[in-house]
Amino acid sequence: MADGLYERIFELAKRRGFLYPSFEPYGGAAGFYDYGPLGAQLKAGIENLFRRIFVVEEGCAEISCPAVTVEEVFVASGHVAKFDDPVVRCQNCRSPFRADHLIEEAGYKGNAALLKNEEIDALAKKLGVKCKNCGGPFGAAYRQNLMFKTEIGPGSGKVGYLRPETAQGIFVDYPYLYRYFREQLPFGVCQIGRAYRNEISPRQGVLRLREFNQMEVEVFIDPQKLTHAKFARVQGTRLRFLPKASKEIVEMTIGDAVAKGVVANEALAYYLVLVDRLLTQAGIDPKRLRFRQHEDDEKAHYARDTWDAEFQSERFGWVECVGIADRSAYDLTQHAKLSGTPMRAVRRYETPQKREVVQVRSVPAKLGPLFKKEAGAVTAALLALPADRAEAAAAAKEVEVIVDGRKVTVPRAAYDVVRETVTVAGDDYVPNVIEPSFGVDRILYAVLEHSYVETTKEGEAYTVLRLPLAMAPMQVGVFPLMPKDGLDAVALDLLHKLQAAGLRALYDESGAIGRRYARMDEVGTPYCVTVDYDSLKDQSATVRERDSTKQERVRFTDLVDHLRRRFSPFRDS
Ligand code: GAP
C-alpha cells in the first residue's frame, strides 16, 4: 500500500481512470492532468450540479467565450500589470520556486506575496531559505506574470493571452447581456470553461494546475440594493465561518452572520449559501468545509468583502476551492474606461422625466487621427464629463480628460458640445458584481478525498468511494453470475435496457462476483445488478446497494424504474 492518503487516492484515480498525468509517454509536464473516462464523468457531474443550481434554480444565463483573448481585455482587468507571483531561482540547479511560499514555510507570519522583491531577498537570507531540490542558494527575487502569451494571427504582432479566468468574457459581454435581461437588474451570468495560469512551480497535483477548469458566476446588482429577494428562504442555513483576524471557526446561521456584520451584505451572503449547497451536494464533508474571510491586505483593493470556501485535505490542510467576492463596480468601470463602451444600467423612475443635457461628443474625423487606438477611450471620457465641465468646454479652446490615469488634452476642433432635451428613464449607474468562482479540479479532488473510505473485508483492505448518487460516474454495474448458460445474454439485455433508459451502466463478467462488487465499490458505483440461475425461473435479478450492501430481488420488468427513481433527474440525461 502506498504511503499517504493522497498517494493512495491518486493511485486509485490513475489505475481506475479518473486522472492521468498528461503527456506521460513524453516525460509528462507539471501542472497538467487528463481526466480519464470516470474522471470526465465525475467532472461532468460537478458541472451539471452547478448548472442545476445556478442556471435552473437561480435563472442565471450560461455563456461561452473564447479562451484566447485580446490583450486589451487584460490591460483593463489589471492582469497585464499585476497578475504576477514573486519567484526565486536556484543558482545551482536553476529550479524556480514561489518565493512567498518558501518564506511562509520558513516561518514568516504575514502575507509574503505582498512583500517587495528586496524585502523577500532580505527575509530569504535571514530565514536561511535554500533550494528544496539541491540545497543551493537562490538568486534575487523577481516578479513573473502568470498569463500564457500568444500571437493572434501568425506574424500579426497582435498580442493575445490565454484567459487566466473565465470572468472577463462575461464582463466584456455586459452590454449584450444587459439587453438580454431586458435591462433589469439583478441578473446572473455564468461560464464553465478552461482557464490558464503559467504557475511557477506546481507541485500539488490537481490542486495547482497550469490549465484548469472554472465555473464562474457574475451577478450584476444595483449597489443601492445589497439585499437578495430569496434571502429569507436561506437565512436559517448554518455555515462554518472563519472571519478575518480570528483563529477559530464559528458556526452560525447566515442570517446571524449578516445581522452581526460578519458577512458584508445579504447579496453576498446568499451566494455563500449556494456555494455551500453545491459543495456539500457534490460530496464534500460539511465538517471539513469552512468559509474563510480574506484579511484586509489579502483581498483585491477594489473588493468590498471576499470569502474563500476551503476544504480540509489530509496532505495540504485547508485548501481554497471557491472564491466568493463582492467586486464592487471595478470590472465594468475598467472595461468602460479602456474600451470606450458604456457599461451601465438604469435605476428607473416611476415615470420618465424630461431633462436638458449638455454633452461633449467627439468629432470622429478629427479625433480618430489624433488619438488612434485611444480614440474610443477619449470619446468615452468626453461623454462622461459632468454638465458644468461640458458648459465650460463649449467656450474653451481645448478640454482636458483623464484616460487610463493620464491627462489628455483634446483640441476644440475634435469635439462638439451638444445641448438637448431628452426623456430620462432613470438614473444611470455602474452595476456592482458578486462573483462566486469555483475551481472544478479542486472540488473534484475534495470529493474524491472526502468520499474515499478504507475498510477491511474478510481480513483484506477494501475501498469504497461513497460518492453521492448524483456524482457517481458509473451508475449501475450489470453482471451475469457466470458468463454462460444464457445468463450473459439476459444480463446484456438488461444492460441495454438500462442504457436506453439513460442510465450509465457497465457490464462485467470477469472474475468472482465479490471481486466485481469490489471493483464497482472502488469507483463509487451505487448499484449492481446480478443475474443468476434463479433469474431464469423468476425473471428477477439481485440489486445490491453500495453503502449498505443490502440486496433485494427486483423483477426484470420493474428494474429500469426501480433504478431510475433513485437518481436525480438532472443527471439522467
Ligand atoms: N475570477 C476570480 C478568480 O479567478 P481565483 O481565486 O483566482 O479567482 C477561483 O480562482 C478558483 O479557481 C479558486 O478558488 C481555485 O479553486 C481555482 N484555481 C485558481 N487557480 C488554480 C490553479 N492554478 N489550479 C487549479 N485551480 C485553480
Residues 525-544 have pLDDT tens digits of: 999 999 999 999 999 999 99
Q: Cα of 47 to ligand 1 centre, how many Å?
A: 16
CA Rg value for the chain: 29
Q: Measured between alpha carbons, how far is 418 from 363 in angstroms, rounded to an integer?
A: 12
- Residue 212 CA, ligand 1 centroid: distance in Å: 8
Residue nearest to atom 15 of ligand 1 (CA): 439
Residue 521: its pLDDT value, please? 98
pLDDT at 443: 98
Ligand 1 center from residue 489 Cα (angstroms) = 48
Atom from ligand 1 closest to the CA of residue 443: 16
pLDDT greater than 70 at residue 1: no
The confidence band for 298, taking pLDDT boundaries of 50, 70 and 90, is confident
At 109, is the pLDDT very low, low, confident or very high (cuts 50, 70, 90)? confident
For residue 201, the SS3 value is: coil
Which among 22, 84, 168, 214 is the best mutation to test ligand 1's pocket, defined by most ligand atoms within 8 Å of the CB? 214
In whole angstroms, what separates CA 513 from the centre of its chain?
Answer: 41
Is residue 104 scored above 50 in pLDDT? Answer: yes
pLDDT band at 569 (very low <50, low <70, confident <90, very high): low
Q: What is the pLDDT of residue 572?
A: 40
319 lines ligand 1 (CB under 6 A): no
C-alpha cell at 270: 446568499
Domain 474-570 grouped into CATH 3.40.50.1980: no
Atom of ligand 1 nearest to the CA of 321: 16
Q: Are 266 and 259 in contact (CB under 8 A)?
A: no
Of 43, 74, 189, 212, best ligand 1 pocket probe by most atoms within 8 Å of the beta carbon: 212
Which ligand 1 atom sits closest to the C-alpha of 214? 12
Question: Is residue 100 lining ligand 1, measured as CB closer than 6 Å?
Answer: no
Residue pLDDT, tens place only, 8-39: 999 999 999 999 999 999 999 999 999 999 99
pLDDT interval class at 297 (50, 70, 90):
confident
Instruction: Give yes or no for residue 439 CB within 6 A of ligand 1.
Output: yes
CA angle 542, 544, 549 (to 5 degrees): 140
323 lines ligand 1 (CB under 6 A): yes
What integer best gives the mean pLDDT of the chain? 95
DSSP E strand stretches across 7-95: 19-21, 33-35, 61-62, 68-70, 84-89
Question: Of 198-202, 232-236, 447-451, 487-491, where does mean pLDDT reach its minimum?
Answer: 198-202
Going by pLDDT thresholds of 50, 70 and 90, the confidence category of residue 163 is very high
Q: Residues 127-141: what's their mean pLDDT?
A: 91
Q: How far is the CA of 520 from the centre of ligand 1 (A)?
A: 32
Question: Collapsing DSSP states into helix, strand and coil, what is residue 423?
Answer: strand
Tell how strand 527-531 and strand 476-480 pair up. Answer: parallel
> Which option is the CATH number for 84-145: 3.40.190.10, 3.40.50.300, 3.30.40.230, 3.40.50.620?
3.30.40.230
Residue nearest (by alpha carbon) to ligand 1 atom 20: 208
Average pLDDT over residues 214-232: 97
Mean pLDDT confidence for 103-124: 90
Kindly report the protein residue whose alpha carbon is nearest to atom 9 of ligand 1: 437
Would you kindly state where each structural domain of the chain is located, as residue ranges?
41-82+166-344+430-459, 84-145, 348-428, 474-570
Atom of ligand 1 lying closest to residue 322 CA: 14
Confidence label for 3 from pLDDT (cuts 50, 70 and 90)? confident
Pairing outcome for strands 211-221 and 432-439: antiparallel
41-82+166-344+430-459 belongs to CATH 3.30.930.10: yes
* pLDDT reported for residue 568: 63
C-alpha cell at 545: 446497494
- Using the mean position of ligand 1's atoms as its centre, give its distance from the Cα of residue 439 in Å: 5
437 lines ligand 1 (CB under 6 A): yes
Cβ-contact 240, 289 below 8 angstroms: yes
Site to substitute for ligand 1 among 65, 199, 320, 334, most atoms within 8 A of C-beta: 320
Maximum average pLDDT range among 336-340, 422-426, 508-512 = 508-512
**122 CA distance to ligand 1 centroid (A)?**
30
Pairing of strands 238-242, 84-89: unpaired
- Ligand 1 in contact with 521 (CB < 6 A)? no
For the segment 83-112, the average pLDDT, to the nearest whole number, is 91
The domains spanning 41-82+166-344+430-459 and 474-570 adopt the same CATH topology: no
CA 439 to ligand 1: nearest atom: 16
pLDDT reported for residue 488: 97
- Nearest Cα to Cα of residue 213 among 44, 52, 75: 44
Rounded Cα distance, 184 and 200, in Å = 42
Residues linked to residue 45 through DSSP beta bridges, in sequence order:
none
Q: Which of 559, 539, 550 is nearest to 517 (CA)?
A: 550
End-to-end alpha carbon distance in the chain: 38
Query: What is the per-residue pLDDT for 573?
Result: 36
Ligand 1 centroid from CA 201, angstroms:
16
228 three-class SS: coil
**What would the grid cell of residue 66 be?**
473564447
Residue located nearest, by CA, to atom 5 of ligand 1: 323
Tell me the average pLDDT across 373-395: 92
Percent of the chain whose predicted confidence (pLDDT) is above 90: 88
Contacts of 466 (CB under 8 A, 6+ apart): 283, 451, 452, 453, 524, 546, 547
Ligand 1 proximity of 164 Cβ (cutoff 6 Å): no
Measure the CA–CA gap between 436 and 440, rounded to whole angstroms: 12
Residue 245 has pLDDT above 90, yes or no: no
